[in-house]
Protein backbone atom coordinates (compact mmCIF):
# COMPACT_ATOMS: atom_id res chain seq x y z
CA UNK A 1 0.00 0.00 0.00
CA UNK A 2 1.17 3.55 -0.79
CA UNK A 3 0.28 6.82 0.93
CA UNK A 4 0.33 10.47 -0.02
CA UNK A 5 -0.32 13.56 2.13
CA UNK A 6 -1.78 16.74 0.61
CA UNK A 7 -2.02 20.07 2.46
CA UNK A 8 -3.63 23.30 1.29
CA UNK A 9 -1.55 26.30 2.43
CA UNK A 10 -2.57 28.11 5.62
CA UNK A 11 -4.74 31.22 5.51
CA UNK A 12 -3.23 33.91 3.26
CA UNK A 13 -3.57 37.69 3.55
CA UNK A 14 -5.95 37.67 0.59
CA UNK A 15 -8.00 34.79 2.02
CA UNK A 16 -8.45 37.07 5.02
CA UNK A 17 -9.24 40.12 2.86
CA UNK A 18 -11.60 37.95 0.73
CA UNK A 19 -9.83 38.77 -2.52
CA UNK A 20 -9.52 36.63 -5.66
CA UNK A 21 -5.91 35.45 -5.43
CA UNK A 22 -4.91 32.96 -8.13
CA UNK A 23 -1.25 33.38 -9.06
CA UNK A 24 -0.76 36.56 -6.98
CA UNK A 25 2.08 35.80 -4.59
CA UNK A 26 0.64 36.81 -1.20
CA UNK A 27 2.00 35.54 2.10
CA UNK A 28 0.46 33.76 5.11
CA UNK A 29 -1.35 35.59 7.91
CA UNK A 30 -0.41 34.83 11.56
CA UNK A 31 -3.43 32.45 11.54
CA UNK A 32 -2.07 30.79 8.40
CA UNK A 33 1.32 30.30 10.06
CA UNK A 34 -0.40 28.81 13.14
CA UNK A 35 -2.37 26.42 10.88
CA UNK A 36 0.84 25.29 9.18
CA UNK A 37 2.61 24.79 12.51
CA UNK A 38 -0.38 22.81 13.82
CA UNK A 39 -0.36 20.61 10.70
CA UNK A 40 3.34 19.86 11.19
CA UNK A 41 2.80 19.08 14.87
CA UNK A 42 -0.10 16.76 14.06
CA UNK A 43 1.95 14.87 11.47
CA UNK A 44 4.87 14.59 13.89
CA UNK A 45 2.67 13.47 16.80
CA UNK A 46 0.98 10.85 14.63
CA UNK A 47 4.37 9.47 13.56
CA UNK A 48 4.29 10.54 9.90
CA UNK A 49 7.53 10.93 8.00
CA UNK A 50 8.39 11.86 4.40
CA UNK A 51 11.18 11.41 1.86
CA UNK A 52 10.21 14.01 -0.71
CA UNK A 53 8.05 17.15 -0.87
CA UNK A 54 6.39 19.01 -3.73
CA UNK A 55 5.01 22.52 -3.70
CA UNK A 56 4.14 25.41 -6.03
CA UNK A 57 6.09 28.55 -6.91
CA UNK A 58 3.93 30.64 -4.56
CA UNK A 59 5.12 31.68 -1.11
CA UNK A 60 1.89 30.89 0.77
CA UNK A 61 2.44 27.21 -0.12
CA UNK A 62 6.24 27.30 0.20
CA UNK A 63 6.09 28.95 3.64
CA UNK A 64 3.39 26.52 4.78
CA UNK A 65 5.72 23.67 3.81
CA UNK A 66 8.60 25.33 5.70
CA UNK A 67 6.55 25.53 8.89
CA UNK A 68 5.29 21.95 8.55
CA UNK A 69 8.81 20.61 8.00
CA UNK A 70 10.25 22.76 10.79
CA UNK A 71 7.75 21.28 13.27
CA UNK A 72 8.73 17.81 12.06
CA UNK A 73 12.48 18.61 12.22
CA UNK A 74 12.65 17.75 8.52
CA UNK A 75 13.70 21.07 6.92
CA UNK A 76 16.53 19.11 5.24
CA UNK A 77 14.15 17.08 3.06
CA UNK A 78 14.29 17.59 -0.72
CA UNK A 79 11.61 19.97 -1.99
CA UNK A 80 10.58 20.23 -5.64
CA UNK A 81 8.78 23.45 -6.60
CA UNK A 82 6.75 23.51 -9.79
CA UNK A 83 4.34 26.01 -11.39
CA UNK A 84 1.96 23.19 -12.25
CA UNK A 85 0.98 23.01 -8.57
CA UNK A 86 0.16 26.75 -8.51
CA UNK A 87 -3.34 27.91 -7.65
CA UNK A 88 -5.86 28.16 -10.49
CA UNK A 89 -5.19 31.43 -12.35
CA UNK A 90 -8.03 33.85 -11.59
CA UNK A 91 -7.56 36.07 -14.65
CA UNK A 92 -8.77 39.66 -14.46
CA UNK A 93 -10.44 38.97 -11.10
CA UNK A 94 -7.06 38.70 -9.32
CA UNK A 95 -6.94 41.29 -6.56
CA UNK A 96 -10.68 42.11 -6.60
CA UNK A 97 -12.86 41.57 -3.54
CA UNK A 98 -15.20 38.55 -3.77
CA UNK A 99 -18.06 40.13 -1.78
CA UNK A 100 -17.79 43.36 -3.76
CA UNK A 101 -17.98 41.41 -7.03
CA UNK A 102 -21.03 39.53 -5.68
CA UNK A 103 -22.73 42.87 -4.95
CA UNK A 104 -21.93 44.09 -8.47
CA UNK A 105 -22.57 40.93 -10.51
CA UNK A 106 -24.70 38.77 -8.19
CA UNK A 107 -23.99 35.59 -6.20
CA UNK A 108 -24.69 33.28 -9.14
CA UNK A 109 -22.12 34.95 -11.38
CA UNK A 110 -19.49 34.85 -8.63
CA UNK A 111 -20.28 31.19 -7.93
CA UNK A 112 -19.87 30.47 -11.65
CA UNK A 113 -16.47 32.20 -11.68
CA UNK A 114 -15.39 30.42 -8.53
CA UNK A 115 -16.70 26.91 -8.94
CA UNK A 116 -17.88 26.20 -12.49
CA UNK A 117 -15.77 23.45 -14.02
CA UNK A 118 -15.33 24.83 -17.49
CA UNK A 119 -16.21 28.55 -17.55
CA UNK A 120 -13.04 30.64 -17.02
CA UNK A 121 -13.19 34.08 -15.40
CA UNK A 122 -12.46 37.09 -17.67
CA UNK A 123 -8.84 36.94 -18.92
CA UNK A 124 -6.02 39.30 -17.99
CA UNK A 125 -4.57 41.32 -20.85
CA UNK A 126 -0.91 40.37 -21.50
CA UNK A 127 0.10 44.01 -20.87
CA UNK A 128 -1.75 44.15 -17.52
CA UNK A 129 0.77 44.85 -14.73
CA UNK A 130 -0.74 41.84 -12.91
CA UNK A 131 0.18 39.48 -15.78
CA UNK A 132 2.84 36.97 -14.73
CA UNK A 133 4.42 36.72 -18.21
CA UNK A 134 7.24 39.06 -17.13
CA UNK A 135 7.83 37.32 -13.79
CA UNK A 136 11.29 35.71 -13.74
CA UNK A 137 10.04 32.63 -11.91
CA UNK A 138 8.15 31.63 -15.08
CA UNK A 139 10.96 32.55 -17.53
CA UNK A 140 11.54 28.85 -18.32
CA UNK A 141 8.02 28.59 -19.81
CA UNK A 142 6.79 29.63 -23.22
CA UNK A 143 4.64 32.79 -22.82
CA UNK A 144 1.54 30.90 -24.00
CA UNK A 145 2.02 28.33 -21.21
CA UNK A 146 1.55 31.10 -18.65
CA UNK A 147 -2.22 31.43 -18.25
CA UNK A 148 -4.17 34.66 -18.59
CA UNK A 149 -7.11 32.93 -16.86
CA UNK A 150 -8.10 29.36 -15.98
CA UNK A 151 -11.22 27.38 -15.18
CA UNK A 152 -10.77 24.26 -13.05
CA UNK A 153 -10.68 22.16 -16.23
CA UNK A 154 -7.57 24.10 -17.33
CA UNK A 155 -5.98 23.52 -13.92
CA UNK A 156 -6.73 19.78 -14.20
CA UNK A 157 -4.99 19.85 -17.60
CA UNK A 158 -1.69 20.94 -16.00
CA UNK A 159 -1.92 19.27 -12.57
CA UNK A 160 -2.80 15.76 -13.79
CA UNK A 161 0.16 15.40 -16.19
CA UNK A 162 2.45 16.59 -13.37
CA UNK A 163 0.91 13.98 -11.07
CA UNK A 164 1.26 11.23 -13.67
CA UNK A 165 4.74 12.09 -14.89
CA UNK A 166 6.44 13.23 -11.69
CA UNK A 167 4.63 12.67 -8.38
CA UNK A 168 2.94 9.30 -9.01
CA UNK A 169 6.19 7.59 -10.14
CA UNK A 170 7.83 8.74 -6.89
CA UNK A 171 4.94 7.38 -4.80
CA UNK A 172 4.95 4.13 -6.79
CA UNK A 173 8.70 3.78 -6.16
CA UNK A 174 8.02 3.85 -2.41
CA UNK A 175 8.86 7.47 -1.63
CA UNK A 176 6.78 8.98 1.18
CA UNK A 177 5.49 12.14 -0.47
CA UNK A 178 4.07 15.38 0.97
CA UNK A 179 2.42 17.89 -1.40
CA UNK A 180 1.63 21.43 -0.20
CA UNK A 181 -0.46 23.27 -2.76
CA UNK A 182 -3.64 25.32 -3.19
CA UNK A 183 -7.42 24.95 -2.91
CA UNK A 184 -7.96 24.48 -6.63
CA UNK A 185 -4.78 22.62 -7.59
CA UNK A 186 -5.69 20.12 -4.85
CA UNK A 187 -9.33 19.99 -6.05
CA UNK A 188 -7.99 19.27 -9.55
CA UNK A 189 -5.92 16.35 -8.26
CA UNK A 190 -8.75 14.95 -6.11
CA UNK A 191 -11.15 15.19 -9.05
CA UNK A 192 -8.76 13.06 -11.09
CA UNK A 193 -7.87 10.55 -8.35
CA UNK A 194 -11.44 9.97 -7.16
CA UNK A 195 -13.09 10.38 -10.60
CA UNK A 196 -15.39 13.10 -9.29
CA UNK A 197 -17.85 14.37 -11.91
CA UNK A 198 -17.74 17.89 -13.31
CA UNK A 199 -20.90 18.74 -11.35
CA UNK A 200 -19.98 17.09 -8.04
CA UNK A 201 -16.60 18.82 -7.87
CA UNK A 202 -18.45 22.14 -7.38
CA UNK A 203 -19.30 21.10 -3.80
CA UNK A 204 -15.76 20.06 -2.79
CA UNK A 205 -13.87 22.62 -0.69
CA UNK A 206 -10.45 22.16 0.88
CA UNK A 207 -9.79 23.64 4.35
CA UNK A 208 -6.53 25.53 4.97
CA UNK A 209 -3.67 23.72 6.65
CA UNK A 210 -5.28 20.33 7.30
CA UNK A 211 -3.35 17.20 6.19
CA UNK A 212 -5.36 15.04 3.79
CA UNK A 213 -4.16 11.45 3.54
CA UNK A 214 -4.64 9.26 0.47
CA UNK A 215 -4.10 5.53 0.52
CA UNK A 216 -3.46 3.64 -2.74
CA UNK A 217 -3.13 0.01 -3.75
CA UNK A 218 0.04 -1.17 -5.51
CA UNK A 219 -1.37 -0.06 -8.87
CA UNK A 220 -1.88 3.40 -7.33
CA UNK A 221 -5.65 3.11 -7.37
CA UNK A 222 -7.04 5.22 -4.50
CA UNK A 223 -8.44 3.19 -1.59
CA UNK A 224 -9.70 6.23 0.29
CA UNK A 225 -8.93 9.71 1.57
CA UNK A 226 -9.28 11.16 5.06
CA UNK A 227 -8.33 14.33 6.91
CA UNK A 228 -6.10 14.08 9.96
CA UNK A 229 -7.12 15.82 13.17
CA UNK A 230 -10.45 16.78 14.66
CA UNK A 231 -13.10 15.55 12.18
CA UNK A 232 -15.80 17.95 13.44
CA UNK A 233 -13.51 20.98 13.08
CA UNK A 234 -12.50 19.92 9.55
CA UNK A 235 -16.14 19.45 8.55
CA UNK A 236 -17.08 22.86 10.00
CA UNK A 237 -14.20 24.54 8.09
CA UNK A 238 -15.25 22.89 4.79
CA UNK A 239 -18.91 23.85 5.37
CA UNK A 240 -17.92 27.49 6.01
CA UNK A 241 -15.89 27.49 2.79
CA UNK A 242 -18.81 25.99 0.84
CA UNK A 243 -21.17 28.65 2.19
CA UNK A 244 -18.59 31.33 1.48
CA UNK A 245 -18.13 30.22 -2.14
CA UNK A 246 -21.86 30.80 -2.74
CA UNK A 247 -22.21 34.12 -0.94
CA UNK A 248 -18.83 35.59 -1.96
Per the DSSP assignment, residues forming a β-bridge with 28 are 12
User: What's the CA gap between 27 and 124, in Å, rounded?
Assistant: 22
Question: Among residue numbers 189 through 218, which ones bind ligand 2PG (CB under 6 A)?
Answer: none
Stretch that binds ligand 2PG, among 18-26, 166-174, 215-223, 228-236 (CB under 6 A): 18-26
Candidates 206, 237, 235; CA nearest to 8 is 206
Give the chain's largest Cα–Cα span.
51
Stretch that binds ligand 2PG, among 15-23, 50-58, 118-126, 229-237 (CB under 6 A): 15-23
Say whether residue 183 binds ligand 2PG (CB under 6 A). Answer: yes
Judged by CB under 6 A, the residue of 48, 66, 90, 214 near ligand 2PG is 90
Judged by CB under 6 A, the residue of 184, 209, 212, 248 near ligand 2PG is 184
CA 103: distance to chain centroid?
Answer: 27
Q: Is 9 annotated as a binding residue?
A: yes
Residue 203 φ/ψ region, left for φ over 0, alpha for ψ in the -120 to 50 degree band, beta for the rest: alpha
Judged by CB under 6 A, the residue of 2, 4, 22, 146 near ligand 2PG is 22
User: What's the CA gap between 117 and 15, in Å, rounded?
Assistant: 21
Candidates 212, 207, 239, 206; CA nearest to 228 is 212
Q: Is 14 annotated as a binding residue?
A: yes
Closer CB to ligand 2PG, 16 or 52, in the complex: 16
Closer CB to ligand 2PG, 53 or 186, in the complex: 186
Judged by CB under 6 A, the residue of 11, 71, 87, 150 near ligand 2PG is 87
Q: Identify whether the C-beta of residue 84 lies closer than 8 Å to the C-beta of residue 162.
A: yes
> In the bound complex, what is the minimum distance in angstroms from residue 207's beta carbon to ligand 2PG?
11
CA 43: distance to chain centroid?
Answer: 19
Q: Is 90 annotated as a binding residue?
A: yes
> In the bound complex, what is the minimum distance in angstroms from residue 148's beta carbon to ligand 2PG?
15
Q: Is 100 annotated as a binding residue?
A: no
> In the bound complex, what is the minimum distance in angstroms from residue 215's beta carbon to ligand 2PG?
26
Say whether residue 150 binds ligand 2PG (CB under 6 A). Answer: no
A 10 A CB-CB count for 120 gives 19
Write out the catalytic residue numbers: 9, 87
Q: How many residues sit in the footprint of ligand 2PG (CB under 6 A)?
A: 10
Q: Is 54 annotated as a binding residue?
A: no
Query: Which parts of the chain fold into alpha helices (H)?
Result: 13-16, 30-45, 59-71, 98-105, 107-115, 152-162, 168-172, 183-193, 231-247
Say whether residue 163 binds ligand 2PG (CB under 6 A). Answer: no
DSSP state, residue 24: -
**Binding footprint of ligand 2PG on the chain (CB under 6 A):** 15, 20-22, 87, 90, 114, 183-184, 245
Amino acid sequence: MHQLVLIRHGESTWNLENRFTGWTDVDLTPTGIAQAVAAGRLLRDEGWDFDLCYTSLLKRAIHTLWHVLDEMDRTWLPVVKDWRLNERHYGALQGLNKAEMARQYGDQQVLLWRRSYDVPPPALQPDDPRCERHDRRYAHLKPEQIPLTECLKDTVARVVPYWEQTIAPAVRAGQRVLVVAHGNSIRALIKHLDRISDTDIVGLNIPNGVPLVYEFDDALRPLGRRYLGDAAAVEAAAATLAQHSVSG
